[in-house]
Amino acid sequence: MKKSYEDIHGKKYNRWLILFVVVLIAFAGTIMQTSLSTALPTLMKSFDISMSTAQTATTYYLLVNGIIVPLSAVFLTRVPTKRLYLILGITQLVGIIMTYFSPNSSWGFFIAGRIITALAVGILSSTMAVIVMNIFSSKELGTAIGLTGLALGLAPAVGPTLTGWILSKSHVIFGLTVSSSWRSMFLPSLLVTALCVVLIPFVMHDVVENHRQKIDFVSVLLSTIGFGFFITGFSNVADKGWGDLSVILPVIIGVVFIGLFAWRQLRMDDPLLDVRLFLNSRFTVATVGTLLVTMAMYGVEMMLPTYLQNVRGMSPLNSGMTLFFGALMMGVMAPIAGNLADKYGVKKLALTGFFILAIGTLPFAFISATTPTLLIKVMYAVRMIGIATALMPLTTAAMTAVAVEHSTHASTINNTARQISSSIAVAVLTSLTQNTTTNALPQHALKIADPLAYGAKSITAAVSGFRVSFIAGLVLAILGFVFVCFIKKQTKSNDVQMEVD
């Protein structure tokens, strides 16, 4: 077996070193998508800001990420791979440095750093699968894409735990004393990104064919307005509710402009994003399957830390440690699932993954205020095994359903679907939890008459709200299992051919 291949200029390269750098830099950026959830109280105190203001650090990050992902195909198409990754690495590094050194008197400077970081992370996360598609043979593709799950799945799961650990007390790492300041939570990503920027000139090669695609600025505008408004609308659901104009109007505007964007792409010879790929049933099935497993993942992953802290009274660190074993299982299982898909085929693995996911989610539908922590740890780990087992093969199937020259657009569409589905899942489940909890709360008069009874019933109301979101996660897992059953024919992922009944 070859240990090196040739890039588009005929120069030798080591594909495993390229994969290492690509996954590592994406991991360093993606881990910050969820890390701030643990640090919000610390940021509020340090910057002297309200909770809603502190939340903008996450909101703007996800918004910019959601806007840039649909446009990432054009960057990889126009810019040589090595140069693009160096630019993105430096951009990510600059954004993290700005965030790290933000003065406590300037929240705007902090947000600017987050926005710059999000621009780089959005493109990096979308281009990983394309790089893998171009440097690995079809027989190893499942395993290679499985390794990218370390960035796409493990990093967001580990983020809150790592941040909680860093903020809990000072630590000595490699002989350096790292304080418990909020700045310290950005230090691991800063150091890893800096390492990648040093390695990229020596490791990365131009492995994706380029052509001078003309940028259609009308398409860019339609995409930016469409996805920007759509994600903004769903981001407002938790605070405003479904009936508020700040939710309804942005979502409607977003849908209209996304529709116009898709219509324009269909009429172009060289589209910014080739939505014609949805005419390929094999690609569509795999992408929808990926969307379902992503939403099922967020059905519990985003709500469980809040349950552990608000109902069980855990600290951010302890709640993060409760979920850490599950995050570890995700990281271990992702490459294994990719390898198994190479051997047994995507359909078998996806069905197994959704089944495990449903089994792992079922106990959460009956959760209470006294559910043993050990059971939560074990069942959460089971869920994450199921997610990795389904997500990695489906991602592989989506990429191998199209020709290599269309892989850039396929990866962009797949990542856009994940970005939108995660935003919808978080908005819908947060709303379900809040509405159910509010409707189940006892009368305010009871708080005065019998504070203890009021407190007990309030906890019961909160638990009922979380149960609804967990049940929704279970329903999504079952839907995913049923959907994958419609795959009529499935061979191994090295020559994926799927047909739909």
The whole-number pLDDT of residue 30 equals 84
372 vs 402: which has the higher pLDDT: 372
The whole-number pLDDT of residue 315 equals 76
Among 376, 329, 318, 377, CA closest to 353: 329
Indicate if 222 and 203 belong to the same structural domain: no
The whole-number pLDDT of residue 491 equals 41
Q: Which of 211, 234, 255 is a domain's end point?
A: 211
Most confident range (mean pLDDT) of 148-162, 179-193, 263-277, 439-453 is 263-277
Under the banding of pLDDT at 50, 70 and 90, the label for residue 264 is very high
Indicate if 207 and 84 belong to the same structural domain: yes
DSSP string, 401-428: TS-GGGHHHHHHHHHHHHHHHHHHHHHH
Tally of CB atoms within 10 A around 463:
20
Is the pLDDT reported for residue 405 higher than 90? no
Q: Which residue range is the domain that position 7 belongs to?
A: 1-211
Indicate if 193 and 142 belong to the same structural domain: yes
The whole-number pLDDT of residue 498 equals 39
Half-sphere exposure of 311 (CA within 13 A, CB side): 25
Close Cβ partners of 423 (under 8 Å, ≥ 6 residues apart)? 62, 66, 231, 234, 235
Which strand (E) or helix (H) includes residue 356?
A: helix 346-361
Indicate if 280 and 425 belong to the same structural domain: yes
Q: Which of 159, 188, 211 is a domain's end point?
A: 211
DSSP string, 27-39: HHHHTHHHHHHHH
- Range with the lowest mean pLDDT among 67-71, 140-144, 436-440? 140-144
Strand, helix or coil for residue 5: strand
Is the pLDDT reported for residue 19 higher than 60? yes
H helices, E strands: number in the chain:
20, 6
Q: Span 296-302, mean pLDDT?
A: 75
110 vs 421: which has the higher pLDDT: 110
Number of domains in the chain: 3
Given a contact cutoff of 8 angstroms between Cβ atoms, the answer to whether 116 and 98 are in contact is yes
CATH of the domain at 322: 1.20.1250.20
Indicate if 10 and 129 belong to the same structural domain: yes
The whole-number pLDDT of residue 497 equals 39
The 3-class SS string of 46-106 reads HHCCCHHHHHHHHHHHHHHHHHHHHHHHHHHHHCCHHHHHHHHHHHHHHHHHHHHCCCCCC
The whole-number pLDDT of residue 3 equals 52
- The percentage of the chain sitting over the pLDDT mark of 90, rounded to a whole number, equals 26
Under the banding of pLDDT at 50, 70 and 90, the label for residue 489 is low
Among 313, 324, 442, CA closest to 384: 324
The whole-number pLDDT of residue 492 equals 44
Indicate if 238 and 197 belong to the same structural domain: no
Indicate if 116 and 255 belong to the same structural domain: no
Indicate if 38 and 82 belong to the same structural domain: yes
Half-sphere exposure of 375 (CA within 13 A, CB side): 12
The whole-number pLDDT of residue 2 equals 45
Indicate if 245 and 362 belong to the same structural domain: no
Give 302-311 pLDDT, tens digit per residue.
778 778 877 8
The whole-number pLDDT of residue 37 equals 67
Indicate if 206 and 317 belong to the same structural domain: no
Indicate if 248 and 307 belong to the same structural domain: no
Torsions phi, psi for 211 (to 5 deg): -150, 150
Q: What is the mean pLDDT of the chain?
A: 82
Indicate if 339 and 387 belong to the same structural domain: yes
